[in-house]
Structure 1
Amino acid sequence: MSGTHGALRLIELTSAHLCSDLGGLVGLLDGSRPPAPGDPAAAAPIQPDRDTAAPAAAKALTTRLELRRAAWGPQAGPDGEPLSLARLKRMAGGLPGRVGVDLSALRPDTVFPADDGRIVLNLLLLAADSLPFGGTIIVAGSADDLFIRLAGPSAAWPAGIAVCLADETEARSALTEQRSLQMALTALLGHAARVRLSLVLSPNVTNEPAILRLGG
Protein backbone atom coordinates (compact mmCIF):
# COMPACT_ATOMS: atom_id res chain seq x y z
CA MET A 1 0.00 0.00 0.00
CA SER A 2 2.99 2.35 0.41
CA GLY A 3 3.18 2.99 -3.33
CA THR A 4 -0.49 3.92 -3.43
CA HIS A 5 -0.29 6.22 -0.42
CA GLY A 6 2.83 7.88 -1.85
CA ALA A 7 1.11 8.52 -5.18
CA LEU A 8 -1.99 9.90 -3.46
CA ARG A 9 0.09 12.16 -1.23
CA LEU A 10 1.89 13.62 -4.25
CA ILE A 11 -1.46 14.29 -5.94
CA GLU A 12 -2.79 15.92 -2.77
CA LEU A 13 0.16 18.28 -2.39
CA THR A 14 0.19 19.23 -6.07
CA SER A 15 -3.56 19.86 -6.04
CA ALA A 16 -3.34 21.96 -2.88
CA HIS A 17 -0.65 24.14 -4.48
CA LEU A 18 -2.61 24.60 -7.70
CA CYS A 19 -5.88 25.34 -5.87
CA SER A 20 -4.11 27.94 -3.73
CA ASP A 21 -2.73 29.71 -6.80
CA LEU A 22 -6.09 29.58 -8.58
CA GLY A 23 -7.86 30.82 -5.47
CA GLY A 24 -5.67 33.94 -5.58
CA LEU A 25 -6.65 34.53 -9.20
CA VAL A 26 -10.33 34.19 -8.31
CA GLY A 27 -9.82 36.78 -5.58
CA LEU A 28 -8.48 39.21 -8.16
CA LEU A 29 -11.41 38.47 -10.45
CA ASP A 30 -14.16 39.17 -7.91
CA GLY A 31 -12.36 42.09 -6.29
CA SER A 32 -12.00 40.47 -2.86
CA ARG A 33 -8.23 40.57 -3.29
CA PRO A 34 -6.93 43.91 -4.62
CA PRO A 35 -4.21 43.90 -7.30
CA ALA A 36 -0.67 44.21 -6.03
CA PRO A 37 1.13 47.51 -6.59
CA GLY A 38 2.40 47.66 -10.14
CA ASP A 39 -0.10 45.05 -11.34
CA PRO A 40 -1.54 46.19 -14.72
CA ALA A 41 -5.01 45.31 -13.39
CA ALA A 42 -4.75 48.21 -10.93
CA ALA A 43 -4.61 50.74 -13.76
CA ALA A 44 -7.03 48.98 -16.11
CA PRO A 45 -9.93 51.14 -17.35
CA ILE A 46 -13.40 50.32 -16.07
CA GLN A 47 -15.35 48.03 -18.38
CA PRO A 48 -18.96 47.78 -17.11
CA ASP A 49 -19.87 44.56 -18.92
CA ARG A 50 -16.76 42.79 -17.77
CA ASP A 51 -17.01 44.11 -14.23
CA THR A 52 -20.65 43.03 -13.96
CA ALA A 53 -19.87 39.51 -15.17
CA ALA A 54 -16.79 39.12 -12.97
CA PRO A 55 -18.57 38.30 -9.66
CA ALA A 56 -20.71 35.60 -11.31
CA ALA A 57 -17.67 34.09 -13.00
CA ALA A 58 -15.72 34.23 -9.75
CA LYS A 59 -18.55 32.49 -7.87
CA ALA A 60 -18.64 29.68 -10.44
CA LEU A 61 -14.86 29.28 -10.28
CA THR A 62 -14.95 29.27 -6.48
CA THR A 63 -17.46 26.41 -6.48
CA ARG A 64 -15.35 24.45 -8.95
CA LEU A 65 -12.27 25.01 -6.81
CA GLU A 66 -14.12 23.97 -3.65
CA LEU A 67 -15.13 20.67 -5.26
CA ARG A 68 -11.64 19.88 -6.52
CA ARG A 69 -9.96 20.92 -3.28
CA ALA A 70 -12.24 18.56 -1.32
CA ALA A 71 -11.82 15.73 -3.85
CA TRP A 72 -8.11 15.99 -4.58
CA GLY A 73 -6.41 17.92 -1.78
CA PRO A 74 -5.33 16.81 1.70
CA GLN A 75 -8.23 16.06 4.02
CA ALA A 76 -8.92 18.57 6.76
CA GLY A 77 -8.08 17.17 10.18
CA PRO A 78 -6.87 13.66 11.03
CA ASP A 79 -10.17 12.03 10.07
CA GLY A 80 -11.36 14.39 7.33
CA GLU A 81 -14.82 15.91 7.07
CA PRO A 82 -18.03 13.86 6.66
CA LEU A 83 -20.07 14.61 3.56
CA SER A 84 -23.72 15.49 4.21
CA LEU A 85 -26.31 15.55 1.45
CA ALA A 86 -26.50 19.34 1.68
CA ARG A 87 -22.74 19.65 1.20
CA LEU A 88 -22.84 17.12 -1.65
CA LYS A 89 -25.48 19.23 -3.43
CA ARG A 90 -23.34 22.33 -3.01
CA MET A 91 -20.23 20.56 -4.28
CA ALA A 92 -22.13 19.22 -7.30
CA GLY A 93 -22.49 22.83 -8.42
CA GLY A 94 -18.80 22.72 -9.30
CA LEU A 95 -19.32 20.24 -12.13
CA PRO A 96 -19.44 21.45 -15.75
CA GLY A 97 -22.65 23.30 -16.61
CA ARG A 98 -23.67 20.69 -19.16
CA VAL A 99 -23.82 18.02 -16.44
CA GLY A 100 -26.66 17.72 -13.93
CA VAL A 101 -26.80 15.59 -10.78
CA ASP A 102 -29.99 13.88 -9.59
CA LEU A 103 -29.77 13.23 -5.85
CA SER A 104 -33.51 12.95 -5.28
CA ALA A 105 -33.34 9.23 -4.46
CA LEU A 106 -31.09 9.80 -1.42
CA ARG A 107 -32.55 10.26 2.06
CA PRO A 108 -32.31 13.87 3.34
CA ASP A 109 -30.30 12.69 6.39
CA THR A 110 -27.67 10.89 4.28
CA VAL A 111 -24.13 11.44 5.57
CA PHE A 112 -21.00 9.79 4.14
CA PRO A 113 -17.95 9.15 6.35
CA ALA A 114 -14.93 11.24 5.33
CA ASP A 115 -13.16 8.58 3.22
CA ASP A 116 -16.35 7.52 1.48
CA GLY A 117 -17.41 11.12 0.95
CA ARG A 118 -14.15 11.96 -0.74
CA ILE A 119 -14.59 8.99 -3.05
CA VAL A 120 -18.16 10.09 -3.84
CA LEU A 121 -16.87 13.52 -4.93
CA ASN A 122 -14.29 11.86 -7.16
CA LEU A 123 -17.00 9.60 -8.57
CA LEU A 124 -18.98 12.70 -9.55
CA LEU A 125 -15.92 14.12 -11.32
CA LEU A 126 -15.34 10.80 -13.04
CA ALA A 127 -18.99 10.57 -14.08
CA ALA A 128 -18.89 14.12 -15.47
CA ASP A 129 -15.82 13.17 -17.55
CA SER A 130 -17.81 10.17 -18.80
CA LEU A 131 -20.57 12.42 -20.22
CA PRO A 132 -18.74 14.04 -23.17
CA PHE A 133 -21.87 15.75 -24.51
CA GLY A 134 -23.52 16.43 -21.17
CA GLY A 135 -26.26 14.59 -19.39
CA THR A 136 -27.28 13.57 -15.89
CA ILE A 137 -25.51 11.72 -13.09
CA ILE A 138 -28.15 9.75 -11.19
CA VAL A 139 -27.23 8.88 -7.61
CA ALA A 140 -29.31 6.40 -5.60
CA GLY A 141 -29.01 4.00 -2.68
CA SER A 142 -27.59 4.83 0.73
CA ALA A 143 -24.36 5.97 2.36
CA ASP A 144 -23.12 2.38 2.68
CA ASP A 145 -24.42 1.09 -0.66
CA LEU A 146 -24.43 3.77 -3.34
CA PHE A 147 -25.21 3.49 -7.06
CA ILE A 148 -24.17 5.98 -9.75
CA ARG A 149 -25.69 5.82 -13.22
CA LEU A 150 -24.86 7.81 -16.35
CA ALA A 151 -27.56 9.19 -18.64
CA GLY A 152 -26.58 11.15 -21.73
CA PRO A 153 -25.42 10.94 -25.35
CA SER A 154 -22.33 8.75 -25.80
CA ALA A 155 -22.13 8.21 -22.04
CA ALA A 156 -19.43 5.67 -21.16
CA TRP A 157 -17.07 4.94 -18.29
CA PRO A 158 -13.37 5.08 -19.30
CA ALA A 159 -11.87 1.99 -20.90
CA GLY A 160 -10.16 -0.23 -18.34
CA ILE A 161 -12.13 1.01 -15.35
CA ALA A 162 -13.22 -2.47 -14.25
CA VAL A 163 -9.61 -3.65 -14.09
CA CYS A 164 -8.48 -0.57 -12.15
CA LEU A 165 -11.30 -0.95 -9.63
CA ALA A 166 -10.36 -4.59 -9.06
CA ASP A 167 -6.55 -4.32 -9.20
CA GLU A 168 -4.60 -1.72 -7.22
CA THR A 169 -1.44 -2.23 -9.30
CA GLU A 170 -3.37 -1.56 -12.51
CA ALA A 171 -4.80 1.61 -10.99
CA ARG A 172 -1.32 2.88 -10.10
CA SER A 173 -0.10 2.03 -13.59
CA ALA A 174 -2.98 4.00 -15.12
CA LEU A 175 -1.63 7.17 -13.48
CA THR A 176 1.25 7.20 -15.97
CA GLU A 177 -0.51 5.81 -19.04
CA GLN A 178 -2.75 7.38 -21.65
CA ARG A 179 -5.88 6.62 -19.68
CA SER A 180 -8.20 8.66 -17.49
CA LEU A 181 -6.28 10.21 -14.60
CA GLN A 182 -9.55 10.74 -12.75
CA MET A 183 -10.37 7.04 -13.17
CA ALA A 184 -7.00 6.03 -11.72
CA LEU A 185 -7.26 8.46 -8.81
CA THR A 186 -10.79 7.34 -7.91
CA ALA A 187 -9.79 3.68 -8.01
CA LEU A 188 -6.69 4.31 -5.87
CA LEU A 189 -8.72 6.19 -3.26
CA GLY A 190 -11.02 3.18 -3.04
CA HIS A 191 -8.11 0.77 -2.66
CA ALA A 192 -6.39 2.96 -0.04
CA ALA A 193 -9.58 3.29 2.03
CA ARG A 194 -10.44 -0.39 1.50
CA VAL A 195 -13.80 0.68 0.09
CA ARG A 196 -15.32 -1.59 -2.54
CA LEU A 197 -15.96 -0.05 -5.96
CA SER A 198 -17.48 -2.20 -8.71
CA LEU A 199 -19.57 -2.13 -11.87
CA VAL A 200 -22.98 -3.77 -12.09
CA LEU A 201 -25.14 -4.18 -15.17
CA SER A 202 -28.40 -2.28 -15.37
CA PRO A 203 -31.29 -4.68 -14.66
CA ASN A 204 -33.58 -2.99 -17.20
CA VAL A 205 -31.57 -1.45 -20.04
CA THR A 206 -28.76 -3.34 -21.76
CA ASN A 207 -27.46 -0.55 -24.01
CA GLU A 208 -26.64 1.86 -21.17
CA PRO A 209 -23.32 2.06 -19.30
CA ALA A 210 -22.94 -0.20 -16.29
CA ILE A 211 -23.86 1.27 -12.90
CA LEU A 212 -20.93 2.11 -10.63
CA ARG A 213 -21.44 0.83 -7.10
CA LEU A 214 -19.78 2.06 -3.93
CA GLY A 215 -19.97 -0.38 -1.01
CA GLY A 216 -22.38 -3.25 -0.85
Structure 2
Amino acid sequence: MSGTHGALRLIELTSAHLCRDLGGLVGLLDGGRAVTVGGAMPGDPAAAVPIQPDRDTAAPAAAKALTTRLELRRAAWGPQAGPDGEPLSLAQLKRLVGGLPGRVGVGLSALHPDTVFPADSGRIVLNLLLLAADSLPFGGAIMLAGSADDLFIRIAGTSAAWPTGIAVCLADEAEARSALTEQRSLQMALTALLAHAARIRLSLVMSPTANDGPAILRLGG
Protein backbone atom coordinates (compact mmCIF):
# COMPACT_ATOMS: atom_id res chain seq x y z
CA MET A 1 0.00 0.00 0.00
CA SER A 2 2.94 2.38 0.45
CA GLY A 3 3.16 2.97 -3.30
CA THR A 4 -0.52 3.85 -3.48
CA HIS A 5 -0.43 6.18 -0.48
CA GLY A 6 2.69 7.86 -1.85
CA ALA A 7 1.04 8.45 -5.23
CA LEU A 8 -2.12 9.81 -3.60
CA ARG A 9 -0.13 12.13 -1.36
CA LEU A 10 1.73 13.54 -4.36
CA ILE A 11 -1.56 14.18 -6.12
CA GLU A 12 -2.97 15.86 -3.01
CA LEU A 13 -0.03 18.24 -2.63
CA THR A 14 0.12 19.05 -6.34
CA SER A 15 -3.62 19.71 -6.38
CA ALA A 16 -3.37 21.96 -3.32
CA HIS A 17 -0.65 24.07 -4.95
CA LEU A 18 -2.56 24.35 -8.24
CA CYS A 19 -5.85 25.21 -6.54
CA ARG A 20 -4.19 27.89 -4.45
CA ASP A 21 -2.51 29.45 -7.49
CA LEU A 22 -5.67 29.25 -9.60
CA GLY A 23 -7.65 30.69 -6.72
CA GLY A 24 -5.46 33.77 -6.93
CA LEU A 25 -6.25 34.12 -10.64
CA VAL A 26 -9.95 33.78 -9.90
CA GLY A 27 -9.54 36.58 -7.39
CA LEU A 28 -8.24 38.82 -10.18
CA LEU A 29 -11.32 38.00 -12.27
CA ASP A 30 -13.43 38.82 -9.25
CA GLY A 31 -12.28 42.43 -9.15
CA GLY A 32 -9.14 41.73 -7.17
CA ARG A 33 -10.83 40.11 -4.19
CA ALA A 34 -8.95 37.19 -2.69
CA VAL A 35 -10.37 33.69 -3.05
CA THR A 36 -8.94 31.08 -0.72
CA VAL A 37 -8.76 27.58 -2.17
CA GLY A 38 -6.85 24.67 -0.68
CA GLY A 39 -4.61 26.52 1.75
CA ALA A 40 -5.13 28.66 4.82
CA MET A 41 -1.65 30.21 4.62
CA PRO A 42 0.87 30.69 1.81
CA GLY A 43 3.32 27.80 1.78
CA ASP A 44 0.92 25.45 3.56
CA PRO A 45 -0.62 23.34 0.76
CA ALA A 46 -1.80 20.66 3.17
CA ALA A 47 -4.24 23.05 4.86
CA ALA A 48 -7.76 22.76 3.51
CA VAL A 49 -10.32 25.48 4.13
CA PRO A 50 -13.59 26.26 2.32
CA ILE A 51 -13.80 29.08 -0.14
CA GLN A 52 -15.15 32.28 1.42
CA PRO A 53 -16.96 34.28 -1.29
CA ASP A 54 -17.51 38.02 -0.89
CA ARG A 55 -21.12 38.26 0.22
CA ASP A 56 -21.37 42.01 -0.15
CA THR A 57 -20.69 42.22 -3.89
CA ALA A 58 -21.80 39.72 -6.53
CA ALA A 59 -18.84 38.17 -8.31
CA PRO A 60 -18.77 38.06 -12.11
CA ALA A 61 -20.34 34.93 -13.54
CA ALA A 62 -17.01 33.62 -14.82
CA ALA A 63 -15.35 33.98 -11.42
CA LYS A 64 -18.27 32.28 -9.70
CA ALA A 65 -18.16 29.35 -12.11
CA LEU A 66 -14.40 28.93 -11.73
CA THR A 67 -14.64 29.18 -7.96
CA THR A 68 -17.22 26.37 -7.85
CA ARG A 69 -15.11 24.21 -10.15
CA LEU A 70 -12.05 24.77 -7.97
CA GLU A 71 -13.96 23.98 -4.80
CA LEU A 72 -15.16 20.65 -6.23
CA ARG A 73 -11.66 19.68 -7.29
CA ARG A 74 -10.07 20.73 -4.03
CA ALA A 75 -12.57 18.58 -2.14
CA ALA A 76 -12.00 15.63 -4.51
CA TRP A 77 -8.24 15.84 -5.03
CA GLY A 78 -6.70 17.93 -2.27
CA PRO A 79 -5.56 16.96 1.25
CA GLN A 80 -8.39 16.08 3.59
CA ALA A 81 -9.14 18.42 6.49
CA GLY A 82 -8.05 16.88 9.79
CA PRO A 83 -6.57 13.43 10.34
CA ASP A 84 -9.74 11.60 9.33
CA GLY A 85 -11.26 14.05 6.88
CA GLU A 86 -14.80 15.38 7.05
CA PRO A 87 -18.10 13.68 6.18
CA LEU A 88 -20.03 14.79 3.11
CA SER A 89 -23.69 15.65 3.56
CA LEU A 90 -26.24 15.62 0.77
CA ALA A 91 -26.54 19.40 1.05
CA GLN A 92 -22.79 19.77 0.51
CA LEU A 93 -22.92 17.33 -2.40
CA LYS A 94 -25.70 19.35 -4.06
CA ARG A 95 -23.57 22.46 -3.81
CA LEU A 96 -20.38 20.84 -5.11
CA VAL A 97 -22.01 19.29 -8.20
CA GLY A 98 -22.29 22.85 -9.45
CA GLY A 99 -18.61 22.52 -10.33
CA LEU A 100 -19.35 19.93 -13.02
CA PRO A 101 -19.69 20.97 -16.69
CA GLY A 102 -22.96 22.68 -17.51
CA ARG A 103 -23.75 20.05 -20.14
CA VAL A 104 -24.00 17.41 -17.38
CA GLY A 105 -27.01 17.07 -15.10
CA VAL A 106 -26.91 15.24 -11.77
CA GLY A 107 -29.90 13.45 -10.28
CA LEU A 108 -29.81 13.16 -6.49
CA SER A 109 -33.52 12.87 -5.74
CA ALA A 110 -33.26 9.11 -5.13
CA LEU A 111 -31.00 9.70 -2.11
CA HIS A 112 -32.52 10.18 1.35
CA PRO A 113 -32.38 13.83 2.48
CA ASP A 114 -30.43 12.83 5.60
CA THR A 115 -27.74 10.97 3.63
CA VAL A 116 -24.21 11.62 4.96
CA PHE A 117 -21.16 9.97 3.43
CA PRO A 118 -18.19 9.19 5.68
CA ALA A 119 -15.05 11.15 4.74
CA ASP A 120 -13.40 8.41 2.64
CA SER A 121 -16.63 7.48 0.84
CA GLY A 122 -17.56 11.11 0.25
CA ARG A 123 -14.25 11.82 -1.40
CA ILE A 124 -14.68 8.82 -3.68
CA VAL A 125 -18.21 9.97 -4.56
CA LEU A 126 -16.84 13.35 -5.71
CA ASN A 127 -14.23 11.62 -7.84
CA LEU A 128 -16.89 9.32 -9.26
CA LEU A 129 -18.87 12.38 -10.32
CA LEU A 130 -15.81 13.83 -12.07
CA LEU A 131 -15.19 10.46 -13.72
CA ALA A 132 -18.84 10.22 -14.78
CA ALA A 133 -18.73 13.72 -16.28
CA ASP A 134 -15.60 12.75 -18.25
CA SER A 135 -17.51 9.70 -19.49
CA LEU A 136 -20.22 11.88 -21.06
CA PRO A 137 -18.38 13.46 -24.02
CA PHE A 138 -21.54 15.09 -25.41
CA GLY A 139 -23.25 15.74 -22.11
CA GLY A 140 -25.94 13.76 -20.40
CA ALA A 141 -27.08 12.75 -16.95
CA ILE A 142 -25.53 11.23 -13.85
CA MET A 143 -27.96 9.48 -11.50
CA LEU A 144 -27.18 8.49 -7.93
CA ALA A 145 -29.32 6.06 -5.94
CA GLY A 146 -29.02 3.87 -2.87
CA SER A 147 -27.46 4.84 0.44
CA ALA A 148 -24.20 6.11 1.89
CA ASP A 149 -22.87 2.57 2.32
CA ASP A 150 -24.33 1.11 -0.88
CA LEU A 151 -24.39 3.69 -3.66
CA PHE A 152 -25.17 3.22 -7.35
CA ILE A 153 -23.96 5.65 -10.05
CA ARG A 154 -25.45 5.47 -13.54
CA ILE A 155 -24.63 7.59 -16.60
CA ALA A 156 -26.78 8.22 -19.67
CA GLY A 157 -26.17 10.28 -22.77
CA THR A 158 -24.91 10.20 -26.34
CA SER A 159 -21.75 8.03 -26.50
CA ALA A 160 -21.80 7.61 -22.70
CA ALA A 161 -19.18 5.05 -21.68
CA TRP A 162 -16.87 4.40 -18.75
CA PRO A 163 -13.16 4.51 -19.66
CA THR A 164 -11.57 1.44 -21.19
CA GLY A 165 -9.82 -0.61 -18.54
CA ILE A 166 -11.91 0.54 -15.60
CA ALA A 167 -12.85 -2.99 -14.55
CA VAL A 168 -9.16 -3.97 -14.37
CA CYS A 169 -8.26 -0.87 -12.33
CA LEU A 170 -11.08 -1.52 -9.87
CA ALA A 171 -9.94 -5.10 -9.38
CA ASP A 172 -6.15 -4.61 -9.41
CA GLU A 173 -4.45 -1.87 -7.41
CA ALA A 174 -1.17 -2.20 -9.33
CA GLU A 175 -2.99 -1.69 -12.63
CA ALA A 176 -4.62 1.44 -11.23
CA ARG A 177 -1.22 2.84 -10.21
CA SER A 178 0.12 2.09 -13.66
CA ALA A 179 -2.80 3.92 -15.28
CA LEU A 180 -1.79 7.12 -13.46
CA THR A 181 0.92 7.63 -16.07
CA GLU A 182 -1.62 8.13 -18.87
CA GLN A 183 -3.50 11.42 -19.02
CA ARG A 184 -6.61 9.93 -20.59
CA SER A 185 -7.04 7.51 -17.66
CA LEU A 186 -5.91 9.75 -14.80
CA GLN A 187 -9.34 10.32 -13.23
CA MET A 188 -10.22 6.65 -13.55
CA ALA A 189 -6.94 5.60 -11.92
CA LEU A 190 -7.25 8.14 -9.10
CA THR A 191 -10.81 7.08 -8.31
CA ALA A 192 -9.83 3.42 -8.22
CA LEU A 193 -6.77 4.09 -6.04
CA LEU A 194 -8.82 6.05 -3.51
CA ALA A 195 -11.17 3.08 -3.20
CA HIS A 196 -8.26 0.64 -2.86
CA ALA A 197 -6.56 2.80 -0.22
CA ALA A 198 -9.76 3.14 1.81
CA ARG A 199 -10.58 -0.57 1.45
CA ILE A 200 -13.96 0.37 0.02
CA ARG A 201 -15.39 -1.87 -2.68
CA LEU A 202 -15.99 -0.24 -6.05
CA SER A 203 -17.41 -2.48 -8.75
CA LEU A 204 -19.37 -2.59 -12.00
CA VAL A 205 -22.85 -4.10 -12.20
CA MET A 206 -25.01 -4.54 -15.27
CA SER A 207 -28.05 -2.31 -15.58
CA PRO A 208 -31.30 -4.30 -15.27
CA THR A 209 -33.16 -1.89 -17.58
CA ALA A 210 -30.72 -0.52 -20.18
CA ASN A 211 -30.02 -2.98 -22.95
CA ASP A 212 -26.96 -1.27 -24.38
CA GLY A 213 -26.27 1.36 -21.73
CA PRO A 214 -23.09 1.60 -19.67
CA ALA A 215 -22.77 -0.58 -16.59
CA ILE A 216 -23.61 0.91 -13.20
CA LEU A 217 -20.82 1.72 -10.79
CA ARG A 218 -21.47 0.47 -7.26
CA LEU A 219 -19.73 1.93 -4.22
CA GLY A 220 -19.81 -0.31 -1.16
CA GLY A 221 -22.39 -3.04 -0.79
TM-score by structure 2 length?
0.87
Q: Partners in 2 of 1:177 and 1:14 — Cα distance? A: 17
Q: Match of 1:184, as an amino acid? A: A
- Tell me how far 1:31 sits from its aligned partner: 1.5
| 1:14-71 C-alpha deviation (Å, 9 max, x unpaired) | 000000000000111112438xxxxxxxxxxxxxxxxxx9611111110000000000
Shift of the 28–70 alpha-carbon distance from structure 1 to 2, 3 Å rule, reads same
Give the match's secondary structure for 2:128: helix
1:210 pairs, out of 198, 206, 215, with 215
Partner of 2:170 in structure 1? Answer: 165
Partner of 2:111 in structure 1? Answer: 106
Shift of the 29–155 alpha-carbon distance from structure 1 to 2, 3 Å rule, reads same
| 1:132-186 C-alpha deviation (Å, 9 max, x unpaired) | 0000000000000000000100000000000000100000000113641000000
Give the match's secondary structure for 1:138: strand
Give the match's secondary structure for 1:102: strand
Partner of 1:26 in structure 2? Answer: 26
Partner of 2:83 in structure 1? Answer: 78
**Runs of 5+ unmatched residues, structure 2:** 35-57
Shift of the 104–171 alpha-carbon distance from structure 1 to 2, 3 Å rule, reads same
Partner of 2:144 in structure 1? Answer: 139
| 1:62-81 C-alpha deviation (Å, 9 max, x unpaired) | 00000000000000111111
Shift of the 27–95 alpha-carbon distance from structure 1 to 2, 3 Å rule, reads same
Q: Match of 2:8, as an amino acid? A: L
Q: Match of 2:95, as an amino acid? A: R
Partner of 2:52 in structure 1? Answer: none
Q: Partners in 2 of 1:103 and 1:191 — Cα distance? A: 25
Q: Partners in 2 of 1:54 and 1:113 — Cα distance? A: 32
Q: Match of 2:141, as an amino acid? A: T
**Which structure has greater helix proportion?**
1
Give the number of equivalent residue pairs. Answer: 198
**Runs of 5+ unmatched residues, structure 1:** 35-52
- Tell me how far 1:202 sits from its aligned partner: 0.4
The equivalences for 1:1-216 within 5 A come to 1-33=1-33, 55-177=60-182, 179-216=184-221
Give the match's secondary structure for 1:31: coil
Q: Give every structure 1 segment of 4 or more consecutive aligned residues whose post-TM-superposition deviation is greater than 2 Å.
A: none
Q: Partners in 2 of 1:208 and 1:139 — Cα distance? A: 16
Q: Supply the RMSD in Å over aligned alpha carbons.
A: 1.3
Give the match's secondary structure for 1:20: helix
Percent of pairs identical after alignment? 88
TM-score by structure 1 length?
0.89
- Tell me how far 1:206 sits from its aligned partner: 2.0
Which structure has the larger Rg over C-alpha atoms? Answer: 1
Give the match's secondary structure for 1:103: strand
